Structure 1
Amino acid sequence: MANYTIEEKASFTVLGFGVELKSDYTDFMGIAKEKAAFLAQAQADGTIDRLKKVALNDDFFIVNEAINNKMMYYVGVMSKETLPEATRLIQFPKGDYLVIPGEGSTSEELSNNLTNLAFGKVLGEVSEVAYVGGPNTSVEKGTRDGMFIGEMWLPVVKQ
């Protein structure tokens, strides 16, 4: 049985820079390549650094969202400020969230591990709640013993 909790969270907003993923939603290799390319570009062009400068805390978000029949992928932070070139303010509703802890040797590996754990294992094991769609996010919380640590947050409803 996977390690997870169900937590009530207040609504929150993530200031994000994003990209539309063009691969078919069943093309996991294509999606992974697009995500990796976007993350590398966001690191190289200073997008991630700009976001972290306006962040309210140390949490760093990698968000998946289906919007207007498009698969969107964002990097972001909680912020009271805005950046004019930001792609979107991503609204997360108040409610119950399935929270899954994990780790990875890089930020990207952490996000991939959390996503795979959530959608490949935990959601199949959990019977008391159901994922309702909407934005989901991996949240990088920091490092410990050289590893990136974080959580996956999925909005859910009780069954």
Structure 2
Amino acid sequence: MGNYTLEEKDSFTVLGFGTELKSDYTDYAGINKEKSDFWLEVQKDGRLDRLKAVAANDYIFAVNEAVNNKMMHYAGVMTDESLPDASRVIQFPKGEYLVVKGEAATAEELSNMLTGIAFGQALPEAKEVSYVGGPNTTVEMGKRNGLVFGEMWIPVVRS
């Protein structure tokens, strides 16, 4: 159990702006490009700043969720407030989460690295729990020593 922990979390809500990912779920390069383009867009057009203005903390959430058989990706913040044009209010359940921590040069590198470790190594190793769907998220928590640090949170159930 070297690269992950299991943590109990209270339920929380993320308000976000989203986009549908059109690439095949096995096309990691295509998915990563779509996510990267989306993040550039929400930073440039001010949507990310509007989210930050209603956030309960400094965390930035990159949420992945299947909605109506579509792969959705959201830029979000933890908040109980709302914005009239936000795409979605995402409910994360109270319960156990597989957590992978890390740091990287950029938020995008952090998200890609944590997702790879979480789904490629940690979940296959975590025999005592299973991911049964629902939203998962990378959480950009801040910067230190010139690096972005954060975690990936995946809701799991005991196997």
Using the size of structure 1 for normalisation, the TM-score is 0.97
Q: Which residue of 2 aligns with 1:24?
A: 24
> Which 4+ stretches in 1 moved above 2 angstroms?
none
Q: Is the 8 A contact 1:2 1:121 kept in 2?
A: no
Could you give the per-residue CA deviations for residues 40-62 of structure 1, whole angstroms, max 9, x where no partner exists?
10111111111111100111100
The AA in structure 2 aligned to 1:51 is L
1:1-150 alignment, distance < 5 Å: 2-150=2-150
- Residues in 2 aligned to 1:53 and 1:82: alpha-carbon distance in whole angstroms: 11
Identity %: 65
Could you give the per-residue CA deviations for residues 49-79 of structure 1, whole angstroms, max 9, x where no partner exists?
1111110011110000011100000010011
- Residues in 2 aligned to 1:133 and 1:2: alpha-carbon distance in whole angstroms: 23
DSSP 3-state at the match of 1:49: helix
Aligned length: 159
DSSP 3-state at the match of 2:156: strand
After superposition, the CA RMSD in angstroms is: 0.9
Q: Which runs of 5+ in 1 are unaligned?
A: none
- Residues in 2 aligned to 1:60 and 1:27: alpha-carbon distance in whole angstroms: 25
Q: Is the 8 A contact 1:60 1:139 kept in 2?
A: yes
Q: Is the 8 A contact 1:48 1:75 kept in 2?
A: yes
The AA in structure 2 aligned to 1:50 is R
Shift of 1:2: 3.6
